[in-house]
Amino acid sequence: MTSANLYAQNPDVNGIFYVKKGGTGNQRGDSWDNAIAELAIALQKARVYNASTPGTVKQIWVSGGTYSPMYAIDAGPTPTPSFTNRNNSFHLTKDVKVYGGFAGTEGSPADRNLSLTANASILSGDLGVAINNSDNAYHVVTAAGPMGTALLDGFTITKGFANGGSSYVTVNGQDFYLFNGGGIYLNGSLVPLSNLIISGNFADNYGVGVCITEAVDFPITNTIISGNAGGNYGAGIGLGHTSMILTNVVISGNRTSNGGGIHAYNGCSITINNSVIHGNSSGIGSSPGSNGDNTVNVQYSLVQGMAADATKHILDPAVDPLFANAPSYSSAPFSNANYKLGLNSPLINTGNNSLHPGLSAGSKDLEGGVRVTDYSTGGIIDIGAYEVQTQTITAAHHVKSYGNADFEPGATTTSNLPLSYSSADNSIAQPYQDAADGNKWKIKILKAGVVLITASQAGGAGYYSASKSFTVNISKATLLARANNASKVYDGLPFSGGNGVTYTGFKNNETAAALTGTLSYTGTSQGAINANIYLITPGGLSSDNYDITFMNGVLNLSKAILTVKANDVSKVYDGLAYSGGNGVSYTGFVNNETAAVLTGTLTYGGTSQGAVDVNNYVITPAGLSSGNYAINYAGGSLTISKANLMITANNAAKVYDGVAYSGGNGVTYAGFVNGESAAVLNGTVTYNGTSQGATNVNNYVITPGGLSSGNYAISYTNGSLTISKAALAVKANDASKVYDGLAYNGGNGVTYSGFVNNETAAALTGTLSYNGTSQGAINANSYTIVPGGLSSGNYDISYIAGSLTISKAALVIVADAQTKVYGTADPAFTYTVTSYASGDNQSIFSGGASRVAGENVGIYLINRGTLNAGNNYDISFTGNNLTITKASQTITWTQSLITGCNGAVSIALSATASSGLPVTYTTGNASIATVSGSTLTPLNAGSTLITAMQSGDENHFAAAPAINTFTYQSPSKVRQHWNDVLLFDNTDNNFAQWQWYKNGTAVPGATMGYYSETTALNGTYYTIATDKNGNVIQTCPLSLNGSNSAKEGIKVFPNPGAGGSTAKVTCNFDQSVLAGARLMISASNGTIVQQITTVQPVTSIILPMNGGIYSITLLLSNGQKATVNVLVK
């Protein structure tokens, strides 16, 4: 339990706490998934929250489970939980509705199913040792003082044990005696009770099941109070100075010395409608007190000890209500009764619909069934907490296949009573109860067909009998019979029969034995001899419960394997192309067959055919075929061998040209056979030796090479090279660069014209250098590059100038996105620059970016405008957007909206929006005040919220609404009766609750229709009153100084006067002061005999007919009064 306190509980957005026994999730209480573990914690948290901020917790929803009180009735805001303190109680909280009976998934109390045992929310006083009543809580549920909108609905209250003697605990000024109120004990509290079972409680003295004191029009509805026991008074209900209304309540089986059902004390008023008081140790007991005797008003009810009355529809007390299970009061306390009505109960359809408040077709009884059967067609409510119900069975037709598993028929009844099933033909499908599965009804499929199944419910427990038939259509199961595949190697014999079949789809462990007929085979396989693929088709079988699909199998009659290999052959190279072969060898003939069974002509292929050159070649046989042999061919081999060939390099000579020699002067061949030439050789003639690369005059060796042949072994012989002994132009290469802010130096290299044999500058001496206008150039322009500095012993060098071009650099500028709020100045239009040249920065720019014009909310393009970067750059400008966003606005409203005491005056509402836009208004309650434009017109007394709104426009967001409270105070509703008493004018009996205030502070306990002090009233007084519809009004303040008589006074003439004659009352006040005043004539006993609401400075009245002394009172709208006595003769 302490683990629940580790979490901070908070209600959901609707002010609801959720409670589930043991808790769920993080136990914050704001959903079923995070439910609080105990009701006691939720009530305690609600008390703390509402004390700080009234209305924070509005409801508590409790799922099924047994809950025990954890905190003492007088616990403070941070109590320590205990399960042994007998003063523990579920102490209800003002303005908090507590609902039980949830499963833990519902979205509203209307979704509850109170008939489910699992949903039963039980509030138990069983503390300490189970079953030992001596340590139980004295009171299970309590409330003290005014409770506002609180109620208790959907619970079982049990095992309270009030045996603590005359000691008491005081809470909120109310004394809770420890020998009263074992189940529910309400002191000065109005907490409507509904959908409750209050049973199995004990109290030594008073009000065992329910004890109520000082309450007005206390309602108990759809509730059972039974099996409670005590020593003295009121085993079911004990009342003290209380008026109570019972509607559809059962009080039975309760035991005590006096008033076994109900006991009333000290001027109680009991109204009993559509209810049963029966089978208690006695009926209704009564004891008068200082507030007079007690009264009982009974209609449409059965009351123990009360004679039958046809006029009031009171049933004979000797009538047996025929409850399902009503234990004798002698066995109380007990909690195992069942007060549902038997089908022949005299309480059925004998109530009165108009006596059940708010009755409709959607109203529910204690178990959640309809409160009135056939309400829309004139149905009549039953007497008691339960309604006899018409039950409806819902059943669906079923389509099944033979072999399906046993299935639950799935019929349901609105009564939730058990169903039974029967079959029109048990040979097709048979209902049964499965003992191995909780005795559930199931249907067993026995064969294919259609059968009618009937679901029946015999009635009882408050329901009539019902039945419903539905069909079960059972189709044949699908059975596949596939022929097994077969295979054989060609043997020359015909095939017959098959290789068996494979079944797919048998049900209930059946086999082929369930089929009729004889398995047979057909298809192309029957009689097949030669190699091929044939069909095996099964057939010959049938069944009543299976649709049989026959599927073919395959016979694969494969070929025999025959190997044909070419014989090997070899030859000496003769330069002629090879063709043909050397014969073959056979492996694999069967049944003494020979090549004579083959077709075709033996041929040869492979690399051997046409082979000339020396190598190894393949002889591949082919050309044969057979329908019954798979012929594999194996290759043979052909081997050919080589001759010598001499190659001599021709001699060469050249005049020196400064170019390195390469190549040669051709070659001479010796050794070709069969008229062949160099065309049969592979490769290209190449030359090596000292001749290759020779430049200066000298003799060099030419060595041939580079040729090859598959048929010749080649050898080479050298030749000789003789060399004997020109201009070189050097031109500077053109150069270009993009402006980078740096001085240019050097050049871009040179181009040589005149080098021979691929010579390069490496053959030159000296160092290449550059001159001309290009040297040191920075800005974009064209310049000359002049080369120099080289020399050579073999070249005459001439120099040619090149050019340098410096082009403008690309400068990339991207505008930054900007934003501003409507109505503010533009921000600076900044930008991001990339690709500055060395040393350049922001200082190169002139001008600036700009944007498209406009000031309304929207997006405006930022463009280049006048931005410039000088002659060394080409600008690439990428624009961006200036976004103007809506401006916020606020509503200012400090106006006071209190009126009424000086008459109903329209109010000009004065809220203003910071944007200057117009403000609109709405009223929370149009019956109290209406708003037209900015004018508020009061209609009726009360308070309502007035909301000022400004929805914004294209340039402004909507403002947060400003809320002000309009109070239309009610004038002339309070008058001073004596110098120490104020009375609220409730002559229309429309108001039910009051809270009196003195000097602006609520007076504790001042909650009646009058207010008094022990001395003369002195201060400013008003009351906040609530009518029976929950509407609240505030009266105008009444300032009293001890006597509170208006100083101007009134007088009457003539005085004395004759009965029935006219007299004139002179009021010494201005006409403006008399607005809203009343003139009242009262007899000496305080009874008002005449009242005038239009008062003039001189007002005519008719004196009462009966003689005596009468008081004439002028009550001003501000509460002041003036009084004069008149003698009527």
Cis peptide before 431 (omega within 30 of 0): no
User: Is residue 301 within 8 Å of 276, Cβ to Cβ?
Assistant: yes
161 by DSSP, 3-state: which?
A: strand
Of 249, 281, 355, which Cα lies nearest the Cα of 312? 355
50 by DSSP, 3-state: which?
A: helix
State the Cα–Cα distance between residues 116 and 121, nearest whole angstrom: 10
State the Cα–Cα distance between residues 441 and 459, nearest whole angstrom: 18
Residues 597 and 665 in one domain: no
Residue 951's CATH number? 2.60.40
Domain end marker among 178, 205, 232: 205
User: Is residue 1073 within 8 Å of 1041, Cβ to Cβ?
Assistant: no
For residue 275, is it within any domain? no
State the Cα–Cα distance between residues 629 and 589, nearest whole angstrom: 8
Give the angle subtended at the CA of 315 by the CAs of 314 and 321, to the nearest 5°.
135
Instruction: Name the DSSP class of 44.
Output: H
For residue 380, is it within any domain? no
Cis peptide before 1056 (omega within 30 of 0): yes
State the Cα–Cα distance between residues 80 and 70, nearest whole angstrom: 8
> Which pLDDT score is estimated for 199?
97
Domain end marker among 949, 968, 987: 968
Residues 549 and 460 in one domain: no
Residues 94 and 200 in one domain: yes
Residue 448's CATH number? 2.60.40.10
Residue 596's CATH number? 3.10.430
User: Is residue 712 within 8 Å of 642, Cβ to Cβ?
Assistant: yes
Range of the domain at 1096: 1050-1128
For residue 906, is it within any domain? yes
* 130 half-sphere exposure, CB direction, 13 A CA radius: 1
DSSP string, 963-975: EEEEEE-BTTSEE
Residues 692 and 547 in one domain: no
> Which pLDDT score is estimated for 844?
85
With residue 218 as reference, give the H or E element that holds it.
strand 218-226
**CA–CA distances in Å: residue 779 to residues 782, 783, 836:** 9, 11, 14
> Which pLDDT score is estimated for 2?
39
Q: Report the domain count for the chain.
A: 10
> Which pLDDT score is estimated for 293?
92
State the Cα–Cα distance between residues 400 and 472, nearest whole angstrom: 7
Residues 819 and 915 in one domain: no
Summarize pLDDT for 1042-1085 with one digit per residue, the tens. 654 444 578 888 877 888 888 998 888 888 888 888 888 888 66
Residues 767 and 790 in one domain: yes
Of 209, 224, 208, which Cα lies nearest the Cα of 277? 224
Domain end marker among 524, 558, 592: 558
Residues 39 and 174 in one domain: yes
In sequence order, what are the residues at sequence separation of 6 or more whose Cβ sits closer than 8 angstroms to the Cβ of residue 362?
Answer: none
Residues 626 and 508 in one domain: no
Residues 984 and 949 in one domain: no
For residue 228, is it within any domain? no
Summarize pLDDT for 727-761 with one digit per residue, the tens. 778 898 988 888 888 889 989 988 988 777 788 88
> Which pLDDT score is estimated for 1045?
46
Of 1121, 1097, 1110, which Cα lies nearest the Cα of 1061? 1110
Instruction: Name the DSSP class of 1052.
Output: E
Residues 44 and 180 in one domain: yes
- In this structure, how many other beta carbons lie within 10 angstroms of the beta carbon of residue 708? 10
State the Cα–Cα distance between residues 72 and 929, nearest whole angstrom: 46
User: Is residue 173 within 8 Å of 145, Cβ to Cβ?
Assistant: yes
Cis peptide before 346 (omega within 30 of 0): no
**CA–CA distances in Å: residue 566 to residues 277, 604, 607:** 120, 8, 13
15 by DSSP, 3-state: which?
A: coil
How many separate helices (H) and strands (E) can be counted in the chain? 1, 96
For residue 250, is it within any domain? no
Q: What is the dihedral of CA 676, 682, 683, 688, to 10 degrees?
A: -50
- Exposure class string for 477-491: b at 16+ Cβ within 10 A, else e: bebbbbbeebeeebe
Residues 192 and 91 in one domain: yes
Residues 1031 and 1060 in one domain: no
> Which pLDDT score is estimated for 970?
75
The parts of the chain modelled with pLDDT lower than 50 are 1-7, 725, 1044-1047
For residue 247, is it within any domain? no
Bridge-partner residues for 1110, per DSSP?
A: 1126
pTM value is 0.46
Bridge-partner residues for 73, per DSSP?
A: none
